Amino acid sequence: MTDLDSKKRDPTKTKPLKFDRILCDVPCSGDATLRKNPDIWLKWSTGNGNNLHGIQYRVLRRGCELLEIGGRLVYSTCSFNPIENEAVVHRLLQETGDSVKLVDVSDMLPGLKFRKGMTHWRPASKDMVFYDKYEDVPEKWQTVVRPQMFPPKTEDLSKYDLEKCIRILPHHQDTGGFFVAVFEKTGLLPWEKTVEEKTEKETEVKEDKKEPPQKRRRMGGYREDPFVFFSGDDEDVFPSIKEYYDLKEDFDSKCLLTRCYVGKKKNIYLVSSIVKDVVQKNEANLKIINTGVKTFVRCDNKNMTCPFRLSQEGLQSILQYIGAVRRVNILKQDLILVLQNDNPSNPPDIKASSSTSLMTNIF
C-alpha cells in the first residue's frame, strides 16, 4: 500500500507497474453529505464543483493509465453535482475512445436502491446563471465553466452509456449520497500507444551496466537505511547461498535485498517482484520504513559451510525453492525427541525414514 501523489509515479524508470483493480475516490465538494455535515449549506456554491472538475479528471485519467487491460476502475464521489460526476466520466470516455467502457453493475448488489446516471445537465457560473452550451458563457466565466463540463449531444448519448453510472440518494435507504461509475479497460489508451511505440524504439536496458546508488532523500528528519537489491547472481554472497541450499533456477535473486551498501550483509530480505518495482520506482518520493521478509541471517560459526542460515520468518516464502539436498525426512517420534533434547552435545539417535505417512520436512 502506498500513499503518494500518482502524478509523481515515473513509469520510465523500470517496467511499468499496472493494477487489476483501482479505486479513485477523488476529492469532491461533499455536497451529498449534507445529512451528517450541515455546515456545507453555509459554504456551498456552484463554483465548488467547477473548481474540482480538473483534478478529478486528472486523477481518473491517471488511474486508467495505471490500469491493466481487462482491469476495472471504480470512480466515486460523495457529491450530487454532475460537473464532478457525469461530466468527468463523459470527458474521459470522449478522450479514450474504445479503450475504456462503462460497466453495468446494476445487478451486482441486489436490493441496493439507486438512480441511473444523468444524461443532461446545465453547467452554472458562480452567479448562478446556467448555460445550455459553451458559446453562451460570458468571457469572464470561460476559465471557470469549461467546454468539457457540458453533456453529450442528444444524438451521441448511446456512445457513452452514462445511465450505467449509479447515483445513491440519502432518502432511499437512510445513507449518505454517493456517485459511482465502474470502468473496464479494453485496450491501450490512445496516448499509451504512442508512448509504447516510442519506448520500444528508443529504450535499451543494459543489465550489466550498474549505476551508482542514488542518495536517499531525508524525509521527516530521519534517515532510513537504504534498500539495496541484489543485481543478479554476481552478488558476493548469493553464489554460496544458492549452492548450499540448492536453490532452483527459477528463483529470482533480484528480489533479495539488504539494508546496507558497504560492509557485511547481516540480514537478507525477500520481496515479490511487484513490491520490488514499487520500492525502486518510488525511492526518492516515498518514505518506506520497512519491507520484505527476513529470509537469510548471517551466522559466522567456524564450522558453517554457508555463512547464512535460514530465518524462521522467511521459511514459508523460500521453502518452495530449496532443493532436496537440504531437506531431511524423519519420523514424527524422532522429531519429538529432537525437540525435547536439551543437550546439543549429546543428540538422540534418530533414523531416516522413507515412510510418507509419518514424514515431515525439517531444515
Residue among 28, 78, 165, 255 flagged as catalytic? 78
| Residue type present at position 77 | T
pLDDT per residue as tens digits for the range 346-355: 666 765 544 4
| Cα 329 from Cα 360, distance rounded (Å) | 6
Nearest in space to 57 (alpha carbons), one of 159, 162, 146: 146
Respond yes or no: is residue 165 known to be catalytic: no
Q: Is 174 annotated as a binding residue?
A: no
The phi and psi torsions of 182 (rounded to 5 degrees) equal: -110, 125
| Cα 199 from Cα 204, distance rounded (Å) | 9
Q: Report pLDDT for 343.
A: 72
Cell of 180: 459511482
Q: Report pLDDT for 344.
A: 64
Q: Is 25 annotated as a binding residue?
A: yes
Q: Report pLDDT for 361.
A: 36
Q: How far is CA 344 from CA 149, 245, 341, in A?
A: 77, 23, 7
| Cα 51 from Cα 163, distance rounded (Å) | 25
Q: Report pLDDT for 67.
A: 95
Which SS3 state, helix, strand or coil, does residue 336 take?
A: helix
CA dihedral 250, 256, 262, 264 (to 10 degrees): -90
Assess contact for 66 and 22: CB atoms under 8 A: yes
Cell of 69: 487491460
Q: Kindly report the pTM of this predicted structure.
A: 0.58
Beta strands 19-25 and 67-77, pairing class: parallel
| Cα 244 from Cα 78, distance rounded (Å) | 57
What count of residues does the chain have? 363
Q: Is 83 exposed, middle or buried (0-12, 13-18, 19+ CB in 10 A)?
A: buried
Which SS3 state, helix, strand or coil, does residue 193 take?
A: helix
Q: Is 273 exposed, middle or buried (0-12, 13-18, 19+ CB in 10 A)?
A: exposed
pLDDT along the chain (363 residues), means of 10: 59 70 95 89 89 96 95 97 97 95 92 95 93 94 94 94 96 94 96 68 53 54 73 75 89 89 84 89 77 88 81 90 83 82 69 42 46
Three-state SS for 237-289 is: CHHHHHHHCCCCCCCCHHHEEECCCCCCCCEEEECCHHHHHHHHHCCCCCCCC
Q: Report pLDDT for 211.
A: 57
